[in-house]
Amino acid sequence: MFPDRSRTAFIATALAAFGALSVLPAVYMLAQSLLGPPGSSLDAYTAVVFDARQRQLLFNTLQLGAGASLVASVIGIPLGFALARVPLRAVRMLRVLLLAPLAVPPYILALAWVYLTGAYSLAAAVFVLGTGFFPLVMLATEAAARAISVDLEEAGLLVAAPLRVLRAITLPLMWPLVAASILLVFVLSISEFGVPGLLRVRVFTTEVFTAFAALFDFSRATALALPLVVLAAAVATAAARLAHAGRLTYRSGRGNGLQWRGRRWKIVVAVAASATIIVTLAVPVGVLAREAAVATRAGESAAGAGQAIVNSVLSSAAAAALATLIGLGVGYWRTRLVTRGTVVIDALMVTLFAVPSTVVGIGLIALWNRAPLTAVYGTMWMVVVSGVARFAPVAAMLLAGAIRQVPVTTEEVAVVGGAGWLRLLVRVVIPQIWPALAASGLIVFILGFGEIGSTILVAPPGESTLPIRVYTLIANAPASQVARLALVQVAAVLLPLVAAAAVRVPWRAA
Amino acid sequence: MTSSLPISVASVALFSALACGGAPGRGASANEVTVYVSTDRVFAEPVLREYERRSGTKVNAVYDTEETKSTGLANRLLAEKERPLADVFWSNEPVRTLILKSRGVLAPYQSPSAEGIPQTFRDPEGYWTGFSARMRVIVYNTNLVTPDQVPASIFDLVDPEWKGQVAIADPRFGSTSFHVAALYAELGEQKADEFFRRLKANDVKIVEGNSVVRDLVARGELKAGLTDTDDVNVALENGLPVAMVIPDREGIGVAVMPNMVSLIARAPHAERGRALVDYLLSTAVEQMLAQSEAVQIPLHTGVAPPKNLPALAAVKPMLLDYGKAAARVEDVTRRLQPILGL
């Protein structure tokens, strides 16, 4: 649109940081796997095609991802829309309670359901991951529903019924951000190891893990990760094509738009939200509390956890802030400056996120444990680096979707008015994507807080995060102890969420 | 127009707090040593805290997670091989240590504290020394198994009376992986394959960890399982209806898994690492671990065994070359995957 050094500097810096932190570890590991011992990587790659067992694993993985995405969408989309368009009392607290399942590591949720039902199956894994990740879809749906223009809706309501307006105007405008969140759930599900491992479901992540933990073969493990990445890329490409197909531009308005204010709707939403909270939060937490009630070494659960909690909160918050900033630059570049190959770029961002965390962790060690980066390696900053490496692609995906909904005309008007690019970004773009920025930061914070696969590989000796502390104490601790530690971890994430809910977030975009 | 960006402000504040928090950097220590520990944290941490108290040296420990939930410290040591952060590796079973030795991660050190530990548990080249061992035992539910039904050998578990009533931890990881490798080394491939095929045909339950085996048996969901002595002891201390059998006293003997301690090659604090190794191999540490819930069996002669367990001299251990057994782990893992349907 216009040459501006500040834009070039900001975006170049964001892309460089993204490349160095998120792309390079995966590329490095891929290169190592291809340049490894002759035949080893080729065996792994060809096995995917010719080995029936590997094909079954891939099929299981696909079912897991698709099933969890479907469950998360069925729960998350209606609730997210309701939070945005049905005026409710105590909506902030309701939002916190609905977000809370995301704060519980999927493995812990699975443990609770195993205690309750004893079910070990693919269906159980789909249920656990779907009910654990639905807040992502809900958050994105609410952000999208709040951010879009009401002018078009009000214009539509003049000539059409609300449901038609919803179908023809509102949902297509929401789709990019919602689709990005569903894709995120899919990738999170197929790259998840703890839940299928616990529930005895054979998927590709378990194969990757075996190659690392049982065979100590980095090259093979990386090669085995490739089918996951390809699967994620294929789904991402399909989703990106769907998202591009129905794009509309719009501008913000000040009316009410499409809302459901009737008492009947409020009751329906209240009942649905309550049922969701009971099933996805109250039941698993209640089961854990029941198990924890019989803990015999209660003091050890909390002893020493204070510093670990502080480490987790600070490092996750720093990673969330950095990842969001990088995601803003990369998202803007993707949406405004890239004219060709957008589908490929979108797919690439998803594939980065699909790379198993252990592969990322080993890649980070290889890249950062060398001069002059040894000043950072061995410090808590590596935990921040790990969080950014894993989740900057998530932020970029979400913010690209949000920026796509900002009319270019608003930027052009600012340029005509004499604004430089940075001023335009801060005063025009960011206020319009503020809900998505907040959602992105929150999502990265929560995901980063619970992350352990790469964190445990790079956390400095003598320092710990809460998940590391929890997981290192799980070994040989009784189920009751595990349950108590899990509750500590849940509380440690929920408290910042509750605090954030207490701060008034300007959800309505300017 | 909306107000400024509270998230940015908050993040700047958090950055500052993080930076000012003074997280330790590499080589910043005046008197510190770094140890990577795959022994359960609840058992290892008191030992290391005691070392801090005695020596005045700060111990930076990195602990491992439950076996099936992370790649383990061994992978971290492999990845850091050229520029290690660790000075010492304390492993709770031989497999990881022997693999690290084969990959050039360890450095030789013959500790004077190893005096009195049988040669079987010491690497001739000095790359590792064993101490405080566990055994692979059969745990059974005393409400479901009568005294005359108690299995005397692990090979009894393939009999029809145990169909669907036996659990083992995933044999690809941890102490179970060592156990199966030891069986392959002892029995040979044909007999070992046959044993595991018969276990599979007998509907053996494969679960994620030894503690899960113990819990299933203690709850009466299964009659018996293979697990480690420390896992069974936790149940005994809690008064649960279980007992253990030290198997194959008349046959191949019981698999004994020592802890192993090693110096790391190119360790940043090699001298302090050696001092820590000396401490870990001392009779005092073996006594601590014997008296704790870990109930680890001392290898030094003259140190009292833990409650509920016999001294090493009173059992028939499997005669093992730990190096050869560990060298088989990767091959055995690949063999077992199709046999057990993993």
Q: Which of B251, B223, B48 is nearest to B149 (CA)?
A: B223
Q: Could you report the per-residue pLDDT of A369-379, keeping only the tens digit for each?
A: 988 888 899 89
- Contacts of residue A39, Cβ cutoff 8 Å, sequence gap at least 6: none
Residues in chain A with CB shorter than 8 Å from the CB of B14 are 314, 317-318, 321
- Whether the pLDDT of residue B27 is over 50: the answer is no
Q: Which of B57, B69, B216 to mutate to test the interface with A (most CBs of A within 10 A)?
A: B69
Higher pLDDT, B242 or A44: B242
- Is residue B244's pLDDT more than 70? yes
Assess whether pLDDT exceeds 80 at residue A381: yes
| Mean pLDDT, chain B, integer | 86
Check pLDDT > 80 for residue A437.
yes
**CB neighbours of residue A20 within 10 Å:** 14
Q: When comparing pLDDT for B262 and A358, which is higher? A: B262
Give pLDDT tens digits for A95-150.
888 988 887 888 788 888 888 888 888 999 999 999 999 999 998 899 888 877 77
Could you tell me which chain A residue has the CA closest to the CA of B83? A369
What pTM was computed for the model?
Answer: 0.81
Q: Which of residues 343-362 of A touch B (CB under 8 A)?
A: 358, 361-362
For the cut 60, the answer to whether the pLDDT of residue A406 exceeds it is: yes
Residue-level pLDDT at B337? 84
pLDDT at A505 over 80: no
Question: What pLDDT, on a 0 to 100 scale, did the predictor assign at position B29?
Answer: 54
Which of A70-84, A283-297, B52-66 is predicted most confidently? A70-84
Q: Can you give the pLDDT at residue A297?
A: 52
Distance CA A86, CA A88 (A): 6
Nearest CA in chain A to B45: A473
Residues B18/B20/B23/B29 CA torsion (nearest 10 deg): 170
Over 70: is that where the pLDDT of B66 sits?
Answer: no
Strand pairing class (B256-264; B242-245)? unpaired
Least Cα distance to A474 among A202, A108, A55, A139 occurs for: A108
Based on the number of CB atoms within 10 Å of its own CB, is B125 exposed (0-12), middle (13-18) or buried (19 or more)?
exposed
Q: What is the pLDDT of residues A459-470, one digit of tens each?
A: 998 878 888 877
Minimum-distance CB partner of B62 among A210, A461, A478: A461
Contact yes or no for A476 and B234 at CB 8 A: yes
Residues of A in contact with B338 (CB under 8 A): 53
Contact B70 A213 (CB under 8 A): yes
Q: Are strands B88-91 and B242-245 parallel, antiparallel or unpaired?
A: unpaired
Q: What is the pLDDT of residue B12?
A: 44
CA distances from B197 to A343, A448, B167, B193, B254 (A): 49, 42, 14, 6, 21
Interface check A496 vs B, CB under 8 A: no
**Predicted pLDDT at B195:** 95
B139 versus A309: the higher-pLDDT residue is B139
B256-311: per-residue pLDDT in tens? 999 999 999 999 999 999 999 999 999 999 999 999 888 899 999 888 888 878 88
pLDDT of A160 > 90? The answer is no
Nearest CA to B330 out of B183, B173, B192, B193 is that of: B173
Which DSSP state fits A278? I
pLDDT of A390 > 80? The answer is yes
Q: What is chain A's mean pLDDT, rounded?
A: 82
**Rg of chain A in Å (alpha carbons):** 23
What is the mean predicted confidence (pLDDT) over A247-261?
A: 58
Q: Please tell me if residue B20 touches chain A, with a CB cutoff of 8 Å.
A: no
Chain A environment of B211 (Cβ under 8 Å):
475-478
Among A99-103, A217-221, B321-325, which is the least confidently predicted range? Answer: A217-221
Q: Phi then psi for A150, rounded to 5 degrees? A: -100, -15
- pLDDT of B5 reads 40
The widest CA-to-CA distance across chain B, in whole angstroms, is 84
Q: Picking from A90-94, A444-448, B35-39, which range would have the lowest pLDDT averaged per residue?
A: A90-94
Could you tell me if A475 lies within 8 Å of chain B, comparing CB atoms? Answer: yes
A475 confidence band (pLDDT: 50, 70, 90) = low
- Helix, strand, or coil (residue B60): strand
Q: Does A425 contact B at CB distance below 8 Å?
A: no
Max mean pLDDT range (B176-180, B231-235, B237-241, B264-268): B264-268
Spell out which residues of chain B touch residue A379, defining contact as CB-CB under 8 Å.
23-26
Better-predicted residue by pLDDT, B225 or A452: B225
Residue A325 has pLDDT above 80, yes or no: yes
Predicted-assembly ipTM surpassing the 0.85 threshold: no
Strands B129-141 and B242-245: antiparallel
Q: Please choose, from the candidates A293, A310, A360, the residue with its C-alpha nearest in 3D space to the C-alpha of residue A465.
A: A310
pLDDT bin (cut points 50, 70, 90) of residue A510 is: very low
8 Å CB contact between B285 and B48: no
Q: Which residues of B touch A427 (CB under 8 A)?
A: 1
CA–CA dist A28, B198 (Å, integer): 43
A476 vs B88, residue with greater confidence = B88
Q: What is the pLDDT of residue A300?
A: 52
Above 80 in pLDDT, residue A184?
yes
Q: Which residues contact A234 (CB under 8 A, 6 or more apart)?
A: A347
Q: Which of A21, A26, A20 is nearest to A363 (CA)?
A: A26
